[in-house]
Structure 1
Amino acid sequence: MKYSARLRLLAVQTGLIASLGLGFATLAYSETILTVALAANPQMQTAAKLIGNFEKKYPDIKVRFQTLPENQLRPAVLKDVATKSGQYDVVMIGAYEVPLWAQKGWIVDLSQYAKADTAWNEGDLLRPIRNLVSYKGNLFATPFYGSSSFMFYRKDLFAKAGLTMPETPTWNQVAQFAAKLDDKKAGVSGICLRGVPGWGQNLASLTTVINTFGGRWFDQKWQPALSEPESKAAINFYVNLIRQHGQPDAAKDGWQECLQLFSQGHAAMWYDDTVFAGPVLDQAGPGVKDNVGFAMAPVKATKASGWLWAWGLSIPTTSKNRDAAWKLISWLTSQEYIKLAGEKAGWGQVPPGSRTSTYQIPEYKKAVASFGDLTLQSINSADPLRPTIEPVPYSGVQYVDIPEFEQIGDFTSQQISGAISGQVTVDEAINASQKKMTDIMQDAGYIK
């Protein structure tokens, strides 16, 4: 009996030890899985390809990317954070969303993380870009890249036509250049501009034109101002320039299509984000790459007109993996990652405009010799606190920093796209937008 009892006891102990051992093994090999929402931009796609380097550094963390076009990313992420669904541990959001979401308590204040992580070197961030991803002085997103806007042009086509692109052209000059360079028979448009709907698509470009024409979205009393003479003139100019000398079916084209058209030699000029300078040179076909030139954003009544933007990485307050999420977003926006991206993917794929040290890397300086200084000059010339000539009650160069702008912008952009395609006149587009804006602003309590 004693022998049998000892056997039973030994069996129980062995099973217990095995069970505990299994538990310890499971614990030792547990993984944190981070779900990340990214915009489908060239530099973000490079990040997805290089994520294995992060997972090798942090073997207990696995990253799952959901990469979406900008127009799909914004509503998907907004729905997740607003309803506190908790689907994402990290979200890529823009300069427009950061302060608004921080105010609502949707994203984590990263100041303490940044302060404790001295290797990340917060002081290295470009000041205008850091300000864009902050709220009341505190950091709420790590800037993946910062950018402005400028003009891309074909030096060979300009030389052939006897034209010279100024460092800072006027929009009137650009219109004249587009008319002379427009060659429908050769399949070359005078200019490529965003026409597809979206407040971050055609309105981004158009709003900078409105600003430099002396127009504005609202007056000091929040009355819609798109029908003011300066705003109206700018909208007419933009739509007519595209209709007369822009790419075919422009109302369907965003930055993706213009990047492809310009890189393949189907446009003599392209006005868009400075971040696409590297991808243009990387993707340019024979006869194009060595003939790409860059100039400051065109102006009319202001000294500068480029926009100011940043895509940042934020942690939703619903994330249960905040410490791991910080490791990821700090790595993706670090000096270490920038060097890795340059070495592995090419220096043209390095996220620009975020860190001062980036512009001190010899290989990067050589790769961006034709546009690096212009990018920094464009970023430093943008003034989101005074985007136009007349006083305005808002900040933001290519957007208005109020929650209602997303609805206003998307509706107005649809009207502008309709005018570009010829479905409505410019006056009809402006009048419909003015009415919609007035209704929204009255409902929101801005207009008494």
Structure 2
Amino acid sequence: MASGVLAFAEEITVATVNNGDMIIMQELSSKWEEETGNTVNWVVLEENILRERVTTDIATQGGQYDIMTIGSYEAPIWGKQGWLVPLDGIEGYNYDDLIPAVRTGLSSEGTLYALPFYAESSFTMYRKDLFEQAGLTMPEQPTYAQIAEFAAKLTDKSKEQYGICLRGKPGWGENMAFFGTLVNTNGGVWFDQNWVPQLDQKPWSDALTYYLDVMTNYGPPGATSNGFNENQALFQTGKCAMWIDATSAAGRVFDPAQSQVAENVGFTVAPIASVDKGNAWFWAWSLAIPTSSQKADVAKDFIAWATSEEYVNLVGEEKGWVAVPPGTRMSTYANQNYKDAAPFAETVLNAIQNADPADATAVPVPYTGIQYVSIPEFQGIGTAVGQNISAALAGQMSAQDALNAAQATATREMTRAGYIK
């Protein structure tokens, strides 16, 4: 996609998350630098810190970053507020190849405000060898009750083998990404049709009771420090019999160069509880340009390169096909090299296409979103609730106290924002 060496070389600053796919992007960006003469200044941050920094910068029009790594939550909201440069109409960019659900998720009123670097749903990863040794069979559609039974049978703390690993690190995009889907499939919602918070209702209590039970009895110690990256490391080193998390992890847990259990990984869809809805999330880590950037043209050129089919092929050739950024382009899933390297490809594509942010709850709600609520206030509310859930997991407060505190925070914020009359 790069447009040739420019007369005046520019340096752009890119803020991104410290996930494996972005680390590869940072490594390979030298190719773009060579082709264009421009350079990239990288700011690579842990997920919660990245969100805090880019949110502050964009809300204050700080101009620290030319490119921000944001998700399907921020892109439409910030785009609508006029904070992001529209990314339609880049010459030579293959928009038609983007998976429709992903493109829609990054748009507001038909305008695309971010280009997807990788997209994901969530699913269940498990150790086929441990299941076989224990005489267990993973169903095509597991229930959370079955997952708890399996976790009990597969936990051997003397060997540092834990039946299940789940996110415990607080944050609206960390523990609440998983916990939000657990609430949905237990029949719960964040808000009723009048925007009144429902966090002290039975589905939330059922979800939290279950989560605390399996994490305390069958999960690793110190789980309140474990987000996506930490659990991935535990799973790859043989410490977890099951891990319910992002489909984007598949490429790394199946890669023998990165995973000690690559030969023994099985996978199936995300579990369900009482409701067959909203059990698997939708997310797209994407690249966007804040309107405060003075180098939007160069930034566009980089984003077009980093999210292109050519970039996917470059990763395949340089890092192995199992490592390519998943979930964004139909051409990735038509590529025989990828299909041969990635036994999970079809499952992942189906999960992304089936995750419906407009229909993720047992009862009607006034919002869209599966593991988040597509309103600006959710970032603060979701983070506060995540802290309450994490405190309950740490044994610092009871489940009921955690939910009462969460309900009080959500009610206060929604009243202050004018949703509740």
After TM superposition, the score normalised by the length of structure 2 is 0.96
Residue from 192, 195, 201 that aligns with 1:222:
195
Unaligned runs of 5+ in 1: 1-27
Aligned counterpart, 2:163: 190
How far apart in 1 are the matches of 2:89 and 2:316? 29
Q: How much does 1:367 deviate?
A: 1.1
Residue from 318, 331, 351 that aligns with 2:325:
351
- 1:223-278 per-residue CA deviation (whole Å, 9 max, x = no partner) reads 11011212221121112211111111111111111101111001100010000111
Q: How much does 1:112 deviate?
A: 2.9
Q: Which amino acid aligns with 2:312?
A: I
Contact 1:42 1:349 in 2 (8 A): no
Alignment RMSD:
1.2
Aligned counterpart, 1:250: 223
Helix, strand or coil: the match of 1:112? Answer: coil
Q: Which amino acid aligns with 1:95?
A: S
- Between stretches 293-302 and 267-276, larger displacement belongs to 293-302
Residue from 80, 86, 95 that aligns with 1:109:
86
How far apart in 1 are the matches of 2:212 and 2:179? 9
2:9 corresponds to 1:35:
no
Residue from 103, 112, 125 that aligns with 1:130:
103
Q: Which amino acid aligns with 1:430?
A: L
Helix, strand or coil: the match of 1:38? Answer: strand
Larger Rg: 1
Unaligned runs of 5+ in 2: 1-5
2:336 corresponds to 1:362:
yes
Aligned counterpart, 1:373: 346
How far apart in 2 are the matches of 1:438 and 1:182? 39
Q: Which amino acid aligns with 2:193?
A: Q
Residue from 383, 403, 409 that aligns with 2:382:
409
**Matches for 1:292-331 after TM superposition, within 5 Å:** 292-304=265-277, 305-331=279-305
Helix, strand or coil: the match of 2:11? Answer: strand
Residue from 19, 22, 39 that aligns with 1:44:
22
Identity %: 46
Contact 2:253 2:259 in 1 (8 A): no
- 1:79-120 per-residue CA deviation (whole Å, 9 max, x = no partner) reads 11111121111111111111110111110111233xxx2x32
2:57 corresponds to 1:92:
no
Task: Could you list the structure 1 runs, at least 4 aligned residues long, displaced by more than 3 angstroms after superposition.
Answer: 283-286
How far apart in 1 are the matches of 2:358 and 2:399? 28
Aligned counterpart, 2:46: 69
Contact 1:120 1:335 in 2 (8 A): no
Aligned counterpart, 1:6: none
Aligned counterpart, 2:3: none
Helix, strand or coil: the match of 2:379? Answer: helix
Please state which structure has a larger fraction of its residues in helix. Answer: 1
- Between stretches 224-233 and 404-413, larger displacement belongs to 224-233
- Shift of the 328–279 alpha-carbon distance from structure 1 to 2, 3 Å rule, reads same
Helix, strand or coil: the match of 1:299? Answer: coil
Q: Which amino acid aligns with 2:32?
A: F
Q: Which amino acid aligns with 1:342?
A: G
Q: How much does 1:29 deviate?
A: 5.9
Aligned counterpart, 1:159: 132
Contact 1:169 1:297 in 2 (8 A): yes
Contact 1:46 1:349 in 2 (8 A): no
Contact 2:120 2:284 in 1 (8 A): yes
How many aligned residue pairs are there?
A: 414
Q: How much does 1:73 deviate?
A: 0.6
Q: How much does 1:30 deviate?
A: 3.1
Q: Which amino acid aligns with 1:54?
A: W
Q: How much does 1:387 deviate?
A: 1.1
Q: How much does 1:408 deviate?
A: 0.7
How far apart in 1 are the matches of 2:226 and 2:112? 34
